[in-house]
Structures are given as C-alpha cells and as structure tokens.
Amino acid sequence: MHPGAIAAVTPDKPAVIMAGSGQVVTYRELDEESNRLAHLFRAAGLRPGDHVAFMLANHPHFLTVAWAAYRSGLYFTPISSRLQTDELAYIVANCGARVFLASADLAGVATSITEATPGVELRLMLGGTAEGFVSYEEAVAGHPVTPVEDECQGLDMLYSSGTTGRPKGVKLPAAHGPLEEPGTLFRLVQALFAPSADSVYLSPAPLYHAAPLRYSLTFQQMGATVVVMERFDPETYLEAVERYRVTHSQLVPTMFIKLLKLPEKTRTAYDLSSLTCAIHAAAPCPVPVKEQMIDWWGPIIHEYYAGTEGNGFLYVNSQDWLLHKGTVGRSLLGIVHICDEDGNDVPTGEHGTIYFENGGRFEYHGDPGKTRSAQDPKGRGWTTLGDIGRLDADGFLYLTDRRSYMIISGGVNIYPQEAENVLSVHPKVADVAVFGVPDEEMGEQVKAVVEPVSMAEAGPELEAELIAYCRERLAHYKCPKSVDFRAGLPRHPTGKLYKRLLKEEYWPTDG
C-alpha cells in the first residue's frame, strides 16, 4: 500500500494529526503533496538512487517529504533539528544531497551551511524564505498531483555517530521495486502488532530517528492514522491516547520512567482502554520499570532489539518477558551468535559480541573501513552493531554492555568522541575523557573528566565555561552535563586512554 492507493479509497481520512495543534493532513493531501514534490525532484534532475536531505522538527509535512523521496526512488536523509552548523554541513555534504529542505524556524542554521555544501543544487524552505533558499510552497505549486512516470521505492539513509566522532550514514541496498511491494519491516509489524486501516499510531519521538520514521511510514502503508507529538510530555501523551483513541504507540524506556513518575491521580485520570499495543526499543529498559508498566497497562508491552543497520531483529512480548526478565527477545531476523574477540562462538550463557548471520546487508556510506569493522573476523558475512550480550538456553538475548563507550540517554545514541574533539582544543584543557554515567531518569547522562592546563583553575567557573563552549559547537544533548577535574588521566604510553578505568568509578559494581 501507499498514499495513492489509500487516498483512492478514503481520501478524507487523516494520514497525520499533530497532537498539539490538531492540524490534520488527509491521505488525499499527503498523496497530492508528495506527488508534487516528487515531480519537483524529477524537474531538478534527480533520478532513482540520487539523494536528498531535509532538516525539520516534527512538522506536519515531515512525512510528506519522506514519502515524496520514497516514491521517487531516492535515498533520503532526515537530519536532527538540534544539530549545529558543522555537524549539519558534514552530513549534507557527505550523503551527497542534491536537494536540501528545511523549515523557516531553522533558517539560521540551514543558511549557515551554504558555502560548505556546494553539491546542493536546490534549497527549499517550508513556511518562509531565506537567502539561498526558494519557497517550497511556490516551487511545488505548479507540479502535477499525479505520480511520476517512473515511480519506485526509495530508501532512507540515516546517520548515527561513530567512535571516531564523525557521523556515519547507514546505507542499505535499494531495490527500487514497486510501491505495492511490502518490505521486511512491513511484514514484521503486520505479523507482530496486528495493525489495520482502523489503527491509530501515536509517535511521541522526533521523526528523524529511525524507529519513529520507519514505523510511521509503515503504519501509513497500512492506511492507519499517525498522530505526531510535537514533543514528548508524559501527561500530554496520556491525553493524546485518550483524545485520539490511540491503538498503537512506540516509546523508549525514558518515556516509561517519566510516565511512572506522574502522580497516581494524573496517571489514572485518562482512559487508555483503546491502547492495545505499546512497543519499545532503542535502549535497555530497567526491569522494575517494565514490571510497573505491565502492571499498569497490562500485557500489551512489546519489545524489540534492532539497529538502523537492519541486520537483525529480536522480539519479545510481555508474557515471554515475564518468564525471562531483562531479555530483549529472540531472533526473528538473522541467526544470533555470541562470539569472543576471535569470532568463535562462546558457550550458552557467556558474554560476547553479538553477531547476526543471514541478516540484512548494509554498509557505512563512504567508509569501507567502518563497514569491515562491523563484519566478523572469520569472514563469514556475519555483522554486528558492536553490542555485548549473552543468550540463555531458550535463545533469549540479554544485553550486558553497550557498544564501545556509546552513551544512550533517553533512547538517543550519543558518541562521546564528538564532545572530546571539541573540548580537547579548548585552551584551558590538557586532556579530556567523555563517557556516560548513571542517570535515574535518562538512563545515562554525559560526563566529562578533564585534566586542566592548570589545576588552580579547576572549579565551577571552568566547568561552566567548558559546558558552554561545547554547547556552542555541538547539539546540546551531546555535551556534558557536568565536568570533573583530575591532575592526570590514565593513558598508556602509546596514547591510548583507559576510559574504562574512569567509567568504572562512576558505575556501581555487580557485587
């Protein structure tokens, strides 16, 4: 299914409802507007396999832009609306975008990358204009509302940071098949969560992340209505479930925690009886949190473990989770192997790197070295996200460590090298390490440990200065919330930082 097929049957049905404003985009509007933009892409010379990028917050036409690129056979990269100039410029240039779209509320950062992205041939702005940009509304107005002649499937190419500090584009092979042809995620969602055209899917997270984007598009392929929250607020979430009679939703554990912290009177004030399926992923969920959610909402909590790379998919429902507390599921896509450093399978119950055999293929765009690093050392074609875990005797997977030094805060992946690279050039910093420390609400928060040039300057004023310095150069969520000072950091004579020694001081031990 696709917007055109759904619009032909139920043209006035809401495809998108903005939870806060109540603004509606019908399936007719979604179909016609995405067709206009697809024709504009063709008029600009883009053909299947070419690339577009866009930077929008949770905008009413976010999914319209995605559908236009998808039905044009293009690779499309939605970009976090929280990025700063250098980060944004790198991604737009690296992905090879020939068209870049942004909304007027982001004009400041959008216009700041023009000189650094000469490969962009067309810049479009929604809801206004700015230097170097043309009005999106005026540009699409004269184009047909019917599909382009060579309509075919495109694909997202999403960026996530790497341990080198530079974001990497996860590129999956594009089949360019007909729009009616269901993909792997469509089949999984259909089999596991039983959606239908009558479903209402509530998306509370930023749409530029993999799961919110892909699941929203998938539910629209089924003719469901997608309710988009402009931003997450726990009580507003409950209110939206009641108001829109939401049937399906996807959250991250941090959202569960915020919901559970609401006063009992608030939690019980809303009718959640329409909600039949609550899906969660993106970060490990503390066992007590999930127990409380199942007690509150009933056995409608579903969990999966997967990555943007699409190389595997594990799943567990509430009933199985209660029998295997802490698991992230059993594999439905790809055979799971737990391997030692040499790529050998370890015995059941032992920890090791998680690999997928016969999973989906992917590459890291323009980075063959990074692509090879995700493959098993024995050359069998198995791939890994870099996570550490163990399997029990029933085949359920448990995550026991994060990929190397990655921080997961509120379900968002943060790679500390980016903040380290910024702070290391500050004139008052001699050495720096950035890593995650425990945070009751967000799971982890970003911590910096700094060796200052002069220990006499160590203190609250320098801490505030370094945090502000970082926030001027990176998205704020990537920056340290606090800074500790040391006379020296543990480094090997070769220069390797023993970050784990620092990190262990802040994390409780198992014993």
Encoded tokens for 14 = 């809401």
501, 490 contact by CB (below 8 A): yes
Which of 469, 479, 354 has its CA nearest to residue 419? 479
**Distance of alpha carbon 203 from the chain centroid:** 13
pLDDT, position 288:
83
Q: Given pLDDT bands bounded at 50, 70 and 90, which one contains residue 509?
A: low
Annotate 438-449 with b (16+ C-beta within 10 A) or e (fewer). Answer: ebeebbbbbbbb
289 vs 6, residue with greater confidence: 6
- pLDDT (average), residues 133-162: 92
pLDDT, position 510:
47
Q: Given pLDDT bands bounded at 50, 70 and 90, which one contains residue 415?
A: confident
Residues of the chain with pLDDT > 90: what percent? 73
pLDDT, position 162:
43
Question: Domain extents for the chain?
Answer: 27-178, 407-504
452 vs 287, residue with greater confidence: 452
pTM tops 0.85: no
**How far, in Å, CA of 235 to CA of 231, rounded?**
12
Torsion of CA 465, 467, 469, 472, to 10 degrees: -140
Euclidean distance between the first and the last CA atom of the chain, given in angstroms as a whole number: 53
CATH assignment, 407-504:
3.30.300.30
283, 185 contact by CB (below 8 A): no
- pLDDT (average), residues 365-372: 90
292 to each of 56, 66, 238, 248, 288, how far by Cα in Å? 35, 36, 16, 19, 6
Neighbours of 161 (CB within 10 A): 18
**How far, in Å, CA of 306 to CA of 385, rounded?**
9
Name residue 2's amino acid: H
pLDDT, position 113:
97
DSSP character at residue 60: T
User: DSSP string spanning 458-469?
Assistant: -SHHHHHHHHHH
pLDDT, position 222:
95
pLDDT, position 278:
98
Name residue 210's amino acid: A
Q: Which of 80-94, 418-432, 438-452, 489-503 has the lowest mean pLDDT?
A: 489-503
- pLDDT (average), residues 133-159: 96
Annotate 256-278 with b (16+ C-beta within 10 A) or e (fewer). Answer: bbbbeeeeeeebeeeebeebbbb
Q: Is the pLDDT of residue 1 over 80?
A: no
Instruction: Look up the CATH architecture of domain 27-178.
Output: 3-Layer(aba) Sandwich (3.40)
Q: Is the pLDDT of residue 171 over 50?
A: yes
**How far, in Å, CA of 400 to CA of 386, rounded?**
12
Each residue of 480-502: pLDDT tens digit?
Answer: 999 999 998 886 443 456 777 88
pLDDT, position 399:
85
Each residue of 305-334: pLDDT tens digit?
Answer: 998 998 999 999 999 999 999 999 999 999
pLDDT, position 507:
84
397 to each of 189, 245, 330, 393, 404, how far by Cα in Å? 20, 34, 6, 10, 19
Positive or negative, the CA dihedral 448, 452, 455, 456 is negative
Which H or E run contains 296? helix 287-297
Q: Is the pLDDT of residue 368 over 70?
A: yes
507 vs 163, residue with greater confidence: 507
pLDDT, position 289:
85
136, 68 contact by CB (below 8 A): no
What is the β-pairing status of strands 248-251 and 277-280?
Answer: parallel
Q: Given pLDDT bands bounded at 50, 70 and 90, which one contains residue 96?
A: very high
